């Protein structure tokens, strides 16, 4: 038994297909198939159920593949310990982010990270929360940026910042004449939400429960951008995280944003990594850099109409409406 064959088994577990597993392992399909067969002979058990159009691991095959995944991760950790002892701020970091955060946070933090860690290769993976957690636990990711709370004794959780929510309404909506609202103003409102699996959906549902609102029936968006377009089209209202309305995201002339009075509903963003990680000390430094996100990015942008009124007022002329 060798590490290479264990990697082949893990690849087969991931891809459920000999051809795709071989391509991911950079070997030919006959080579991978032969090595899996040798591993079965060495262990004395069947690891794979071979069918004409699909591949399934046997129950014992699944158990061995998961153990193999941990062995591979441990070996990689040993290599990482040795490498980082020579240059702690170099090498690569595999960082997972969920879809309603990554595209909006990265433009604000990546330039600073490149400046602070010029020898670092940052490998970014966008996945839903459950996938990021699974990849963290089995060593396929080094760290993840997730919405808290996350309860897992295997993971260190480092809070970074609180991201408020805004209410997005169409320009013709009755609330479009206001700049702010109280939470109870959502009572009996029906909000557009994301489909199952997105953490933003659960966060929005929590706000709905507090405010007496509920979900609009018959529609669930696959992405935050779909939600934004549905609001712009006048279909309904929704909650948007603050970073998703900040530059470089262009403002929509068809959407009016309202901030919440008092303590705004928000989500807490944190960075997580395995407590056993050889990179723990460096990942803490990375978290400290991410925590330096400018406070202005977590404040509601001024409405377009307000900017125009301010500019006109400064010139002593009436506002254009």
Output the domain CATH number for residue 22: 1.10.10.10
The answer on 273 and 150 residing in a single domain is: yes
Share of the chain above pLDDT 70, in %: 91
Using pLDDT thresholds of 50, 70 and 90, give the confidence band for residue 51: confident
Share of the chain above pLDDT 90, in %: 55
Average pLDDT over residues 211-226: 84
The answer on 199 and 102 residing in a single domain is: no
- Is residue 315 domain-resident? no
The answer on 166 and 155 residing in a single domain is: no
Statement: residue 54 has pLDDT above 80: no
* Domain boundary, last residue among 58, 82, 106: 82
Mean of the per-residue pLDDT values of the chain:
86
- How many domains does one find in the chain? 3
Statement: residue 120 has pLDDT above 70: yes
Report the alpha-carbon distance of residue 134 to residue 140 in Å, rounded.
8
Q: Which is more confidently placed, 125 or 216?
A: 125
The answer on 167 and 260 residing in a single domain is: yes
Amino acid 203: pLDDT: 85
The first and second tokens of residue 26, run together, are 């950079």
Amino acid 275: pLDDT: 92
The first and second tokens of residue 125, run together, are 């993976």
* Dihedral angle computed from the Cα positions of residues 69, 72, 73 and 78, in that order, rounded to the nearest 10 degrees: 160
- Is residue 314 domain-resident? no
Among candidate residues 33, 39, 34, the one with its CA nearest the CA of residue 17: 33
The answer on 262 and 170 residing in a single domain is: yes
pTM above threshold 0.85: no
Model confidence over 142-167: pLDDT tens digits?
999 999 999 999 999 999 999 999 99
Q: Distances from the Cα of 146 to the Cαs of 22, 121, 157, 158, in angstroms?
A: 32, 21, 10, 10
The answer on 249 and 172 residing in a single domain is: yes
The answer on 57 and 42 residing in a single domain is: yes
Q: Whole domain around residue 118: which residue ranges?
A: 91-159+269-297
- Is residue 311 domain-resident? no
Amino acid 132: pLDDT: 95
The answer on 35 and 10 residing in a single domain is: yes
Where is average pLDDT lowest: 168-177, 178-187, 306-315?
Answer: 306-315
The answer on 148 and 277 residing in a single domain is: yes
Statement: residue 86 has pLDDT above 70: no
The answer on 247 and 191 residing in a single domain is: yes
The answer on 167 and 261 residing in a single domain is: yes
Q: Which is more confidently placed, 321 or 212?
A: 212
């Amino acid at each position: 038994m060798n590490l290479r064959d264990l990697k082949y088994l893990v690849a087969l577990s991931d891809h459920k297909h000999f051809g795709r597993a071989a391509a991911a392992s950079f070997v030919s399909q006959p080579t991978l198939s032969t090595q899996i067969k040798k591993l079965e002979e060495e262990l004395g058990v069947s690891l794979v159920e071979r069918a004409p159009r699909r591949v399934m691991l046997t129950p014992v095959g699944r158990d061995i593949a998961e153990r193999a995944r941990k062995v591979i991760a441990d070996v990689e950790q040993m290599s990482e310990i040795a490498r980082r002892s020579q240059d702690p701020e170099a090498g690569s970091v595999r960082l997972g982010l969920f879809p309603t955060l990554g595209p909006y946070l990265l433009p604000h933090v990546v330039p600073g990270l490149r400046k602070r860690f010029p020898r670092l290769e940052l490998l970014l993976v966008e996945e839903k929360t459950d996938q990021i957690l699974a990849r963290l636990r089995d060593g396929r990711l080094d760290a993840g940026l997730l919405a808290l709370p996350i309860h897992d004794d295997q993971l260190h959780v480092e809070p970074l910042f609180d991201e408020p929510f805004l209410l997005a309404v169409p320009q013709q909506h009755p609330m479009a004449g206001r700049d702010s609202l109280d939470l109870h103003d959502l009572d009996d409102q029906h909000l557009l939400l994301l489909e199952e699996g997105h953490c933003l959906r659960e966060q929005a549902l929590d706000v709905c429960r507090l405010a007496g609102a509920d979900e609009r029936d018959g529609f669930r968006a696959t992405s935050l951008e779909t939600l934004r377009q549905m609001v712009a089209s006048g279909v309904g209202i929704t909650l948007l995280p603050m970073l998703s309305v900040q530059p470089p995201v262009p403002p929509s002339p068809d959407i009016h944003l309202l901030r919440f009075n008092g303590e705004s509903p928000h989500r807490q963003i944190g960075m997580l990594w395995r407590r056993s990680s050889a990179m723990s000390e460096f990942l803490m430094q990375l978290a400290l850099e991410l925590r330096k996100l400018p406070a202005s990015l977590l404040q509601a942008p001024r409405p377009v109409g307000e900017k125009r009124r301010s500019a006109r007022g400064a010139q002593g002329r009436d506002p254009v409406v």
